[in-house]
Amino acid sequence: MEALNLFKQTNFSNTIWWRVNNDIRGYKNEIGNELVTEIIKNRLFRIIETNLIQKNWHNKHRIFIQCFEDGYICWVDINNLVIEKYEAIKNSFVLIDKLFIQEKMPKILDWIQNQSKKSNFYLWGGTAGPNYDCSGLIQTAFFKSKIFVPRDSFQLKIFCEHLFNFPGDISVLQMGDILFFGEGKKCDHVGIYYSKGKYFHSSGRVNGRNGIALDNLLDIENSDSVSHYYRSRLISAGRVTKSYLWNKTIR
């Protein structure tokens, strides 16, 4: 049955969660092509747009939703949307604690390293791969291990347990710690710590590598201009110690 008919059967309820059975794109506005995220297969969402029963559906092609795993809101195309009602929202996820997350870190970094070996480029809003933006890469890496973290870099900064501001002692960094970059206190880029002063991130075309790569926190003689640029924009470091709860965590 078409997604629109399923929505109509439930009167566009905002308490029902739906699982997507195909990758879909999330847009900034009801019209236009500005991508803000990609929602990969098996993720969950609910409708948050109001008064849909009264809308003229001949001229409407998108619907406003909230994703379950990160609380993110965006517009999605209804055409080609393949969904099913999801009933087990309270009982389907394992308990996530610090130990669980710590044990998953090698797997998370292995996955990112494998993605870096594929042909890829930086894509604003990219989450489904092989092309990612900075926070999309990190979110998907954690999601693959059933750990939910916020979508955008500034949200990640708020969400993570704060470790220290830069300049700081990088010897305290552990595999999987999140690095925050920007101007002043405003975070607009993230990376994930690997080892020995190196971190993975997906950086853009300007001042970056146009895709996923390793860069260096250490100021060494053979450090190139990209590593130097991002080193100059370091704000702080944080650690993922919990999984996101869409109805309890600030976004």
Residue 93 lies in a domain: no
Counting the structural domains of the chain, the total is 2
The one-letter amino acid at 25: R
Do 133 and 64 fall into the same domain?
A: no
Residue 82 lies in a domain: yes
Do 123 and 77 fall into the same domain?
A: no
The one-letter amino acid at 225: S
Read off the CATH number of the domain in which 124 is found.
3.90.1720.10
User: Which residue among 86, 112, 147 closes a domain?
Assistant: 86
Do 136 and 235 fall into the same domain?
A: yes
Do 108 and 30 fall into the same domain?
A: no
Residue 248 lies in a domain: no
The answer for residues whose C-beta is within 8 angstroms of residue 24's C-beta and 6 or more apart is 38, 39, 76, 77, 80, 81
pLDDT in tens, 180-234: 999 988 999 999 999 999 999 999 999 999 999 999 998 776 678 999 999 999 9
In whole angstroms, give the CA distance from residue 134 to residue 138: 7
Judged by phi (left if over 0) then psi (alpha if -120 to 50, else beta), residue 163 lies in alpha
pLDDT band at 141 (very low <50, low <70, confident <90, very high): very high
Which one-letter DSSP state was computed for residue 71? -
pLDDT band at 1 (very low <50, low <70, confident <90, very high): low
The answer for residues whose C-beta is within 8 angstroms of residue 49's C-beta and 6 or more apart is 12, 63, 64, 65
Q: Where are the beta strands (DSSP E) in 115-233?
A: 161-165, 178-183, 186-195, 198-203, 211-216
Residue 50 lies in a domain: yes
Contact 65, 19 (CB under 8 A): no
Residue 91 lies in a domain: no
Which range of residues forms the domain containing residue 230? Answer: 98-239
The answer for residues whose C-beta is within 8 angstroms of residue 153's C-beta and 6 or more apart is 134, 135, 180, 182, 187, 188, 189, 190
Do 230 and 122 fall into the same domain?
A: yes
Residue 72 C-alpha from the chain's centroid: 9
Do 150 and 171 fall into the same domain?
A: yes
Residue 134 C-alpha from the chain's centroid: 8
119, 122, 126, 128 alpha-carbon torsion, rounded to 10°: 10
pLDDT band at 123 (very low <50, low <70, confident <90, very high): very high
User: 192 pairs with which residues across the strands?
Assistant: 178, 200
pLDDT in tens, 37-64: 999 999 999 999 999 999 999 999 999 9
Do 29 and 103 fall into the same domain?
A: no
- What pLDDT does residue 95 have? 72
Predicted TM-score of the model (pTM): 0.94
Do 200 and 143 fall into the same domain?
A: yes
User: Which residue among 65, 86, 107 closes a domain?
Assistant: 86
Do 71 and 113 fall into the same domain?
A: no
Residue 20 lies in a domain: yes
Do 80 and 129 fall into the same domain?
A: no
Judged by phi (left if over 0) then psi (alpha if -120 to 50, else beta), residue 6 lies in alpha
